[in-house]
Structure 1
Amino acid sequence: MFAVLKTGGKQYKVQAGDVLRVEKLAAEAGETVQFNEILMVGGDAPVLGAPLVAGAAVQAEVIDQIKADKVITFHKRRRKHSSQRTRGHRQTLTLLRVTEVLASGGEATGVKAAVGAQSKTAAQAAQAEE
């Protein structure tokens, strides 16, 4: 069974046992998180969401918080301006291992929802629910 989930503005096709690198989540290594924005559940009887599949969820274990490879940008102004600038950036990512794909009953599991680290208000709302 596989599922298509949405997180960090991207879509991922996953199944149990997959290892993912997603945008940074507000979770520590060893915690279990649950993705509730499921766009499709596939398998013997595929279910398409409109836009989301009701009750579906994907649970994953956080392996580590990592950084991506460095991306270097170089800007140069020509002609009479001798100006150059080099910048580097390393995106923060969360490394996950998918443990379970639930086609139904996802809202009753009690597992912490996967919330992005950038959204402090969403992280505080998730803490208030617990």
Structure 2
Amino acid sequence: MFAVVKIAGQQFRVQAGQSLYVPHLQGKTGDTVEFSDVLLTGSEGDLSSGAGVTAKVTAEIVSDLIKGDKVIAFKMKRRKGFRKKLGHRTQYTQIKIQSIA
């Protein structure tokens, strides 16, 4: 069985036992998180979507804070002496899907 879940504005296709990285969630390692915004569920060729979906996805937080790769935004205007270097590292949370009910 699989489900398409909306987590922090992004859609993820998940299955029970799957581990994935999602945008940073509040909580500590070992906490259980429940996602009720399920967009689609399917099992063995049977799909249900829209208002007919009443499933909930439960997951456990494996690692609460993981930083992604550094992204650098460099701005420059030629012949003007203007240079600006900005950068950031996106924060993620690693979760493991326990069940889809």
- TM (norm. structure 2) is 0.91
Find the residue that maps to 1:68 and give its secondary structure.
strand
Let me know the Cα RMSD of the aligned residues: 1.3
Q: Runs ≥4 in structure 1, deviation > 4 angstroms?
A: none
Corresponding residue number in structure 2 for 1:87: 86
Higher helix fraction: Structure 1 or Structure 2?
1
Task: Decide whether the 8 Å contact of 1:72 with 1:89 is kept in 2.
Answer: yes
Matched, 1:23 2:23: yes
Counterpart of 2:81, as a letter, is S
How far has the Cα of 1:28 moved from its partner?
A: 0.7
Identical positions, percent: 40
Structure 1: runs of 5+ lacking an equivalent: 103-130
Q: Deviations over 1:3-26 (max 9, x none)?
A: 000011110000011111111111
1:38, 1:49 within 8 Å by CA — same for their partners in 2?
Answer: no
SS in 2 for 1:91: strand
State the partner residue of 1:46.
47
More relative contact order in 1 or in 2 (CA 8 Å, sep 6+)?
2
Q: Deviations over 1:84-103 (max 9, x none)?
A: 1111101111110111111x
Q: Which structure carries more strand by proportion?
A: 2
Distance in 1, Cα, partners of 2:20 & 2:74: 30
Alignment gaps of 5+ in structure 2: none
Distance of 2:96 and 2:32 partners within structure 1: 10
Q: Aligned to 2:69, what secondary structure does the other structure show?
A: coil
How far off its partner does 1:77 sit?
Answer: 1.2
- Partner of 1:98 in structure 2? 97
TM-score (norm 1): 0.71
SS at match of 1:27: coil
Aligned residues: 99
SS in 1 for 2:29: coil
